[in-house]
């Protein structure tokens, strides 16, 4: 297809957002959008561009003292009667407008219009953030080309409604299993009902008092919740096994090992299996580029509630923050949208930060 990312579109982050939204890129179907982004970047003389799968990386090599990363994922959740983009007043609607093609537009706009940034910059446009981490473009790059990720500071352009969100929570999924004795339901006294036994698990969760933790001035609210229950054999059988799936969101001051120990302690007399675990990320506010970015924004950061790929950079020792124009409350929503004014304001902040003498 003809590349819709023309020079006129690239010069305007709002027009660029709409053009990116209008390239369908549900996870695992990012080839077309990656092709368009790669074609745009390869003709820029100040950038060196590489590709791994459907992840495109471009970087300057200006000999600056520090390097920063601007990263955004190209994929979206499945379309839900919200494609292509539409504009109503100051709102742009469409799949990916908030999460996170408006953020991707920031990076792509700056990559082609700012040839002499104050830092060396690495731009990442990566695949498959919205699905299992084994497909995530940053994860795949960390395995194949870890040197691409080297930087002094990273900015992930996730939706934050124009607020700086520092670090992120860790996340864990665990199953808590209850056991019983199977019996015919007509003679239920001969068995032990494993579903009934989950009542104690649920009571502990209901009574659980989640921590509110302040790290470097940023508050993180933890949460421990049952998100799924599986049990039952047949309509006339007392079940001998039931599992409660628990999701634990923990503050970044806890390591994954500490988080696991906490869950196992809470359910010490039950069978517990950890099915998914990802570390959080500390706020990352002390690096000089981070301080200069915060000065350009002009508002204090808050703690990120949720997990993002800033954790991947933090694991490499690179401080990272979240910043983007989209409202996270409308991410993945059928009425997903972004305020056009937020796109323009954020683009101006990033240009001011990267252009400052």
DSSP 181: B
Active site residue 129: yes
Q: Please classify residue 311 by burial: count the beta carbons closer than 10 Å to its beta carbon, then call 0-12 exposed, 13-18 middle and 19+ buried.
A: buried
Q: Give the C-alpha distances (Å, rounded to integers) separating 142 from 103, 126, 338, 350.
A: 22, 12, 31, 26
* Angstrom distance (rounded) from CA 140 to CA 287: 26
Catalytic member of 30, 75, 152, 309: 75
DSSP-derived secondary structure for 233-287:
S-TTEE-SEEEEEEEEEE-TTS-HHHHHHHHHHHTTTSEEEEEEEE--B-----S
- Per-residue H/E/C for 322-344: ECCCCCHHHCCCCCCEEEHHHHH
Please answer whether residues 71 and 321 qualify as being in contact, where contact means their C-beta atoms are separated by less than 8 angstroms. no
Catalytic member of 38, 127, 129, 336: 129
* Angstrom distance (rounded) from CA 322 to CA 309: 9
Rg (alpha carbons) of the chain, rounded to whole number: 23
Residue 203: in which H helix or E strand, if any?
helix 194-207
Question: What is the token pair recorded at 93?
Answer: 């609607």
Active site residue 245: no
DSSP 78: P
* Angstrom distance (rounded) from CA 246 to CA 176: 7
Catalytic residue positions?
75, 129
């Amino acid at each position: 297809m003809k590349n819709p990312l023309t020079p006129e579109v690239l010069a305007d982050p709002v027009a660029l957002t709409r053009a990116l939204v209008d390239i369908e890129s549900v996870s695992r179907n990012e080839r077309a959008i990656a092709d368009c982004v790669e074609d745009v970047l390869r003709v820029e003389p100040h950038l060196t561009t590489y590709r791994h799968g459907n992840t495109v990386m471009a970087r300057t090599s200006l000999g600056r003292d520090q390097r920063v990363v601007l990263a955004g994922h190209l994929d979206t959740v499945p379309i839900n009667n919200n494609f292509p983009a539409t504009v109503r007043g100051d709102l742009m609607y469409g799949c990916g407008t908030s999460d996170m093609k408006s953020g991707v537009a920031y990076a792509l706009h700056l990559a082609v219009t700012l040839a002499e940034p104050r830092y060396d910059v690495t731009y990442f446009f990566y695949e498959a953030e919205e699905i299992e981490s084994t497909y995530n473009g940053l994860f795949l790059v960390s395995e194949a080309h870890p040197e691409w990720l080297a930087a002094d500071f990273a900015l992930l352009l996730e939706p934050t409604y124009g607020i700086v969100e520092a670090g992120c929570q860790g996340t864990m999924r665990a199953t808590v299993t209850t056991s019983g004795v199977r019996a015919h339901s007509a003679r239920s006294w001969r068995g032990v009902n494993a579903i009934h036994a989950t009542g104690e698990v649920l009571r502990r969760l209901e009574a659980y008092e989640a921590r509110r933790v302040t790290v470097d001035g940023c508050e993180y609210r933890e949460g421990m919740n049952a998100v799924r229950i599986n049990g039952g054999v047949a309509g006339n059988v007392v079940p001998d096994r039931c599992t409660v799936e628990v999701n634990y969101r923990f503050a970044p001051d806890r390591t994954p090992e500490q988080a696991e120990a906490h869950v196992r302690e809470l359910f010490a007399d039950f069978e517990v299996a950890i099915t998914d675990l990802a570390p959080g990320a500390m706020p990352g506010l002390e690096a000089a580029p981070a301080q200069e970015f915060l000065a350009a924004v002009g508002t204090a950061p808050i703690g990120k509630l949720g997990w993002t790929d800033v954790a991947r950079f933090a694991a490499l020792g690179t401080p990272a923050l979240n910043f983007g124009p989209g409202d996270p409350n409308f991410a993945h929503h059928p009425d997903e949208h972004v305020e056009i004014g937020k796109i323009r304001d954020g683009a101006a902040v990033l240009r001011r930060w990267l252009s400052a003498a």
